[in-house]
Amino acid sequence: MSNIYKEQSYLLLVQLGSLYILLTLVQHFVLQSLGLQHVIPIALSHPLWVATLLAPVVLYLRSKYYWLHWMRVHGTQPAPVYPHRDRLLGTDWIVDMSKAISSHSILQLWDGLFSSVGNTFWAKNVGAWIVMTNEPENVKALLSGQFETWQIAGVRQKAMVLALGPRAIFSVNGHAWHDARAMMRPSFVRNQIADLECTERHVEAFLDRVPRDGQRVDLQELLYMFTMDISTDFMFGYSTNTLSDPSLEALDFTRCFDYALLSATRRARLGWVTLLVPDKKLNEAAATCRRFIDRYVKEALASGKEKERPYVFMNEMLASGASQEYVRDQLLAMILGGRDTSASTMSSLFWILARRPDVVEKMRTEIVGLGGRKPNWEEMKELKYLNMVLKEALRLWAPVSTNSREAVKDTVLPKGGGPDGQSPLFVPKGTGCRWSSYSLHRRKDIYGEDAEEFRPERWEKFRATWGKLRLTFAPLYPPPLPGTQSSLSTEAR
């Protein structure tokens, strides 16, 4: 049966079912009005129960009709569907995802699904349909062309509000997002983030913690401490100093911040079912983080003195007239953006460099050309091989390796429909869409047969076609946010 006949059949069934329900309700009202409900009990009760059971069926048929109608009007095609074991609710999806998260293999699982099911496909997460994609044009639509249509909503927004606060730039949409970005953007001009003296101090503390006798060391843990120290120093004018002389309060804040983000991320990935499981520890961790930030905000307001350092992000925010609560939420969001992205990228980079002495030698040769001088921002941009190494690390191990949005109105994604996945795809309001930068950056049809290999030289070839290629390269949180320059500056140093 063609889609047009299916559409008309669904419409007819919806009309007949709706008519039956309407007549039953009218009958029920008339009998009640005439006081005959006890005289004709069967005529009253039997049709009413049938109508009650029929109502959800009619709603389901209506959604099927609406879906087919939209597909026909907008020229879209259906996408592949994940092969569920539980086709009714899709409970197998959340079970499989939970296992993969616990075994730290969720990215590899999704990458395999994109290869076997399709670059864009539907999956059901405990009754709620979601779109999974690694198509660059879809990612562009989500984050640029249809930015106002695809928003942070539902479970993900609730999770971010719990972890960072209701005003944080990662928790809001629309005008609130643009206002937050506009307020913070001037604070991240290059001459302010390129604070080499601040960086140098924390680099020395980091190196002091690295054994010089060849002993093994958990470098990732030290890198997260390093980026936390430098982020808080830049944001507050005071550092947590977790590498050198941390206070108990700073250690508690770091521990709670880690837990709040981990818990929020897990909730966002698993969906609405997580709302049924309260997390008292998450609430307590978030409260500890807020108290830690509030202390520095209140001290800055109470002192009214100019800091010795020429620039402190928190002071600039307070000087703009923003409320204490607003400043606190943005500070938490910026610590997330400044700490985690840098630490994640540097962890991956050091893991690579430990196995690639040839890359280390090429980097050393380029840096020696500076003659021992500390480079400024413009000079760091001219270190071409270093920048290619950073791009290649970001490609293979993007800090934001997966993300999601929810459609706030009916919309159409550019790709995903049809047998070849090249036709538009209709997505109804309320549907979530998750994309994977991890998988997108490993597509051989985009990056070549050696897409899974670390080869910085590939970026020499791509420089000439960067305008087109940049649509496929989404390692951070686009559109560009304040803090991106800061993160890349820290990694380059």
* pLDDT (0 to 100) of residue 488: 47
How far is 56 from 59, CA to CA, in rounded Å? 5
Question: Span 13-25, mean pLDDT?
Answer: 80
258-289 pLDDT, tens per residue? 999 888 888 877 777 777 777 889 999 999 99
* pLDDT (0 to 100) of residue 254: 93
pLDDT at 160 over 80: yes
* pLDDT (0 to 100) of residue 103: 93
Give backbone dihedrals phi and psi of 195, rounded to 5 degrees, phi first: -90, 85
Tell me the CA distances in angstroms from 217 to 33, 53, 236, 352, 435, one per residue in order. 82, 64, 29, 16, 34
Query: In this predicted structure, which of 4-18, 134-148, 157-171, 304-318 has the lowest mean pLDDT?
Result: 304-318
Question: Span 338-367, mean pLDDT?
Answer: 92
* pLDDT (0 to 100) of residue 235: 85
Question: Span 363-369, mean pLDDT?
Answer: 90
423-450 pLDDT, tens per residue? 999 999 999 999 999 999 999 999 999 9
Confidence band of 41 (pLDDT split at 50, 70, 90): low
* pLDDT (0 to 100) of residue 477: 46
pLDDT at 108 over 70: yes
* Cis peptide leading into residue 480 (ω within 30°): no
Question: Span 215-239, mean pLDDT?
Answer: 90
Q: Output 316 or 3, whichever has higher pLDDT.
A: 316
Q: Output 214 or 332, whichever has higher pLDDT.
A: 332
Query: In this predicted structure, which of 175-189, 369-383, 418-432 has the lowest mean pLDDT?
Result: 175-189
Helix axis angle, 280-303 relative to 324-335, nearest 10°? Answer: 120
Confidence band of 147 (pLDDT split at 50, 70, 90): confident
**What is the pairing mode between strands 432-436 and 128-133?**
parallel
* pLDDT (0 to 100) of residue 20: 80
Question: Span 314-325, mean pLDDT?
Answer: 85
Q: Global pTM?
A: 0.81
* pLDDT (0 to 100) of residue 480: 43
Q: How does 366-384 read in b/e, with b if 16+ C-beta sit within 10 Å?
A: beeeeeeeebebeebeebe
Distance of CA 51 to the CA centre of its chain: 43
Residue linked to tokens 């610590």:
335
pLDDT at 373 over 80: no
pLDDT at 40 over 60: no
* Average pLDDT of the residues of the chain: 83
* pLDDT (0 to 100) of residue 191: 47
* pLDDT (0 to 100) of residue 491: 52
